[in-house]
Structure formats: C-alpha cells, structure tokens
C-alpha cells in the first residue's frame, strides 16, 4: 500500500516538484517508521516472554534434578533414567533460541522497506523512458 501511494504521489505530482519531493520523502520516512515499529515491537515482547518462560521452566527442572541428586545413592535404575531425561530436557530448553524471528520474516521486513524506497528513488529520478511509457502531464 505504501508503494502504491508513493507511486501515485510521484507520478501524478499534485504539487510542484519540490513540494512533491518533500511530501513523498516524509511519506517514505513515515512508512519506514511504521514498518520498523510493527516488526520490532511484537518481536521484542515475544522474545521477552520466551526468555521468561525458558527461565521459569529451567528453574523448575533444576529443583527436580537437585532433589534427585540429593538422593542419588538411594535411586533406582528407573529413577536415574528419569533424572537423565530431565537433564536432557533442561539442556534442550536452555539451548533453544529466545527470538521467534526466522529468516523469512526478516526478508519480508527488508522487502517492506526496499519497495517504497525503490519507488521513491524511481519517482524522484527523472527517467525519460518512464515519460514515454506513462504519458501523464
């Protein structure tokens, strides 16, 4: 949507060239800000929630494992295996990443920044070929 508005501003040029440039530039900055905010804000709080829950689960598992370790001499083979599984589970939990961010989301974010920027640059640069393709006043 931001790219469409940018193209409309720069193609139709509703104001003189200088004013159109500044309106389009302000629109570009606004789009960058909104895109960055809607990308960073949720990921930041989701990452905090993941970290908090990881710490909570690791602390709970630590208490259970310490209970088993305190009674290590009296444990049966089945209980020792259970303790080993709990230790493996704790290692898996602590090894997981804190961020829900994957590469595809990051590329979508950069694409959301690049498209309006490209349309701004193409709109500001006076390309004679575009005038032949788009016979607008």
User: Based on the structure, what is the number of domains in the chain?
Assistant: 1
pTM of the model: 0.65
Per-residue pLDDT tens digits for 19-77: 888 888 898 999 999 999 999 998 899 999 999 999 999 999 999 999 989 998 888 99
- Count of C-beta atoms within a 10 Å radius of residue 24: 23
Domain of residue 112, residue span: 2-133
pLDDT per residue over 83-124, tens digit each? 999 999 999 999 998 888 877 888 889 998 998 888 888 777
Give me the residue label for tokens 């104001």.
15
Residue closest to 89 by CA, chosen among 45, 53, 58: 58
For residues 93 and 99, give the distance between their C-alpha atoms in angstroms, rounded to a whole number: 13
Phi and psi at residue 60, to the nearest 5°? -65, -45
């Amino acid at each position: 949507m931001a790219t469409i508005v940018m193209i409309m501003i720069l193609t139709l040029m509703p104001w003189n060239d200088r004013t159109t440039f500044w309106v389009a530039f302000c629109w570009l900055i606004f789009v960058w800000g909104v895109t960055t905010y809607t990308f960073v804000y949720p990921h930041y709080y989701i990452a905090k929630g993941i970290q908090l829950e990881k710490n909570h689960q690791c602390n709970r598992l630590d208490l259970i494992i310490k209970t088993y370790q305190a009674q290590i001499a009296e444990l049966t083979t089945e209980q020792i295996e259970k303790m080993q599984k709990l230790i493996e589970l704790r290692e898996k939990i602590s090894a997981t990443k804190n961020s829900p961010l994957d590469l595809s989301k990051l590329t979508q974010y950069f694409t959301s920044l690049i498209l309006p920027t490209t349309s701004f640059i193409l709109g500001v640069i006076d390309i004679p070929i575009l005038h032949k393709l788009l016979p607008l006043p």
